[in-house]
């Protein structure tokens, strides 16, 4: 028997090493897999090695990404900085163009809302708003474009002023806030009449000849009356502010906040012809020659 | 001593493989590099040390793959016997032949393990045939990398080679 075992010991070993694991497998296969003490020992043995490998791999990656791969990063950063500057300039330009397009769209809407008038669009090329002298804007359209003296100058927001003098290719606009500038207005809410005169500083005008008997309150929108022979009717001039009813006299004492901030105007419309209001009497001295649109 | 070193080498391979797969693909593919040790043992080792070594490598596979104990051990010894029988009939030489044999052995082990688990384990935990493409990829990659394992196993065997004085080579 012993000789038999000795003779077939290799075969027996193979069979044992085949059958024992198979038996173990079938015995344990219905149960959930659990870690034995040997397994835990193997894990204990191999875990530091895996950690070491992970440390080496991580270190290699970090060395690559944080040091070696940064070769030329300064040049790339400089190039990207230049590109960023260019893009920022381009963006700024696009923003300006967008704002300009928006302003022009509003002007166009204003023009289309009053087809009985003809307009000449102009850009403001110069500003003179100092405390001494006339407060005026210089626009890039002149007599060759149909712009002449006393022509009303407006934007989509309201009255800017009137043409004070014109040359062939440019014109000077006396703005509403100049002391010499006066516009006949009506309160849009009550149709009360008054005048608006400049105070010589941007951002404020004075309400004149508004009878105390008339219903005028702060915040009332004032529009052109069309009776001064310069401005057509219904264009916003400003809003009543700082109204003081107390005191003597026949008229209200109030300020007017202009509808157009002349310090920010870039494009304007010069009204070159308009229909005269039928019910209003135009003073002969200020009447303009009418032009067919 | 030699089978123990083979088993430790297989353990080292399994550990390296687990760590490498963590970084390469994050588990999108798998490897069974210790199978190359079994194939090597089947070709080059003696019956006893080869069988013991294969069983040890099978245990390492059981441990690293997380299968039910005994499954991969049984399959490792089975593959050892099958490759040994094949090697008796066909002389497998060179890295290419070793790689092809390793890939085939890996695929056979994977499919056999799936079938055995289907037989023994509850149906819901048994791997299905949907995993066959993944098994094919695993076998292919293991075969591609097996020449490196072959070198390692030869190096271990080299530690035990004795120079016999007067022997002409």
B109 touches chain A (CB under 8 A): no
The CA distance from B60 to B66, in Å, is: 10
A65 touches chain B (CB under 8 A): no
Burial of A81 (0-12, 13-18, 19+ CB in 10 A): exposed
The CA distance from A207 to A46, in Å, is: 94
Residues A245 and A174 in one domain: yes
CB contact under 8 A, B77 and A24: no
For residues A184-188, average pLDDT: 93
Q: Is residue A146 part of a domain?
A: yes
B42 touches chain A (CB under 8 A): no
Q: For chain A, what is the domain count?
A: 2
Q: What is the CATH number of the domain that holds A213?
A: 2.40.10.340
For residues A94-108, average pLDDT: 90
Which pLDDT value is given to residue A79?
Answer: 94
A33 touches chain B (CB under 8 A): yes
Mean pLDDT of chain A: 85
Residues A46 and A145 in one domain: no
ipTM greater than cut 0.90? no
Q: Is residue A108 part of a domain?
A: no
pLDDT tens-digit profile of A235-279? 999 999 988 876 778 888 899 999 999 888 889 999 988 765 554
- Identify from A8, A13, A18 which residue to disrupt to test chain B contact, counting B C-beta atoms within 10 A and taking the largest count: A18
Q: Is residue A7 part of a domain?
A: yes
B117 touches chain A (CB under 8 A): yes
Closest CA to A145 of A127, A126, A163, A159: A163
- The shortest C-alpha distance from A35 to chain B (Å) reads 9
Q: Is residue A207 part of a domain?
A: yes
Buried b (16+ CB within 10 A) or exposed e, B115-124: ebbeebbeee
For residues A149-174, average pLDDT: 92
Evaluate if residue A286 carries a pLDDT over 70: no
Residues A196, A182: contact at Cβ < 8 Å?
yes
Residue B57 makes CB contacts below 8 A (sequence gap 6+) with B6, B7, B10, B34, B35, B37, B38, B41, B76
Helix axis angle for B71-89 and A9-28, nearest 10°, is 140
Question: Both tokens of residue A30?
Answer: 């219905």
Q: Is residue A144 part of a domain?
A: yes
Q: Is residue A284 part of a domain?
A: no
**Positions of chain B with pLDDT under 50:** none
Q: Is residue A81 part of a domain?
A: no
The CA distance from A67 to A73, in Å, is: 10
The CA distance from B154 to B5, in Å, is: 12
Query: In chain A, what residues touch B77 (CB-CB under 8 Å)?
Result: 14, 17-18, 21
For residues A63-72, average pLDDT: 83
> What's the whole-model pTM score?
0.51
Residues A169 and A243 in one domain: yes
- The shortest C-alpha distance from B55 to chain A (Å) reads 7
Residues A123 and A60 in one domain: no
Which pLDDT value is given to residue A127?
Answer: 87
Closest CA to B70 of A30, A12, A47: A30
Domain enclosing residue A42, as ranges: 2-25+38-64
Residues A193, A185: contact at Cβ < 8 Å?
yes
Query: In chain B, what residues touch A59 (CB-CB under 8 Å)?
Result: none
């Amino acid at each position: 028997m012993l000789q038999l075992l000795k003779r077939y010991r290799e075969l027996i070993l193979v069979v044992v090493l085949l059958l024992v694991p198979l038996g173990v497998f079938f015995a344990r296969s219905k149960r959930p897999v659990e870690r034995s003490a040997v397994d835990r020992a193997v894990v204990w043995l191999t875990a530091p090695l895996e950690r070491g490998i992970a440390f080496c791999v991580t270190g290699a990656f970090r060395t690559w990404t944080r040091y070696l791969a940064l070769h030329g990063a300064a040049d790339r950063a400089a190039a990207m900085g230049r590109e960023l500057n260019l893009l920022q300039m381009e963006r700024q330009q696009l923003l300006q163009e967008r704002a300009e397009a928006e302003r022009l769209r509003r002007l166009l809407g204003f023009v289309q809302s009053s087809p009985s008038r003809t307009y000449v669009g102009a850009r403001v090329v110069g500003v003179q708003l100092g405390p001494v002298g006339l407060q005026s804007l210089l626009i890039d359209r002149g007599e060759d474009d149909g712009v002449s003296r006393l022509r009303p100058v407006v934007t989509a927001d309201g009255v800017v002023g009137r043409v004070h003098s014109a040359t062939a290719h440019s014109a000077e606009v006396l703005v509403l806030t100049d002391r010499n500038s006066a516009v006949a207005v009506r309160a849009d809410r009550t149709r009360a009449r008054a005048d608006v005169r400049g105070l010589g500083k941007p951002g404020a005008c004075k309400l004149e000849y508004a009878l105390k008997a008339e219903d005028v309150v702060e915040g009332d929108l004032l529009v052109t009356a069309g009776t001064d022979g310069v401005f057509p009717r219904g264009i916003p001039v400003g809003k009543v502010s700082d109204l003081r009813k107390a005191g003597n006299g026949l008229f209200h004492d109030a300020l007017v906040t202009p509808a157009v901030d002349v310090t920010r105007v870039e494009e304007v419309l010069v009204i070159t012809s308009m229909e005269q209001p039928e019910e209003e009497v135009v003073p002969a001295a200020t009447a303009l020659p009418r032009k067919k649109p | 001593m030699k089978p123990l070193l083979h088993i430790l080498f297989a353990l080292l391979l399994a550990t390296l493989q687990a760590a490498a797969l963590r970084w390469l693909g994050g588990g999108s593919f798998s490897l069974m590099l210790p199978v190359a040790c079994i194939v090597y043992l089947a070709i080059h080792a003696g019956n006893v040390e080869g069988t013991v070594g294969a069983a040890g490598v099978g245990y390492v596979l059981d441990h690293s793959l997380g299968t039910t104990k005994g499954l991969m051990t049984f399959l490792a010894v089975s593959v050892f016997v099958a490759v040994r029988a094949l090697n008796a009939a066909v002389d497998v030489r060179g890295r290419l032949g070793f790689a092809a044999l390793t890939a085939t052995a890996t695929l056979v082990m994977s499919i056999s393990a799936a079938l055995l688990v289907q037989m023994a384990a509850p149906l819901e935990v048994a791997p299905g045939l949907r995993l066959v493409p993944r098994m094919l990829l695993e076998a292919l990659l293991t075969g591609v990398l097996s020449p490196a394992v072959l070198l390692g196993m030869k190096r271990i065997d080299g530690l035990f080679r004795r120079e016999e004085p007067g022997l002409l080579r």
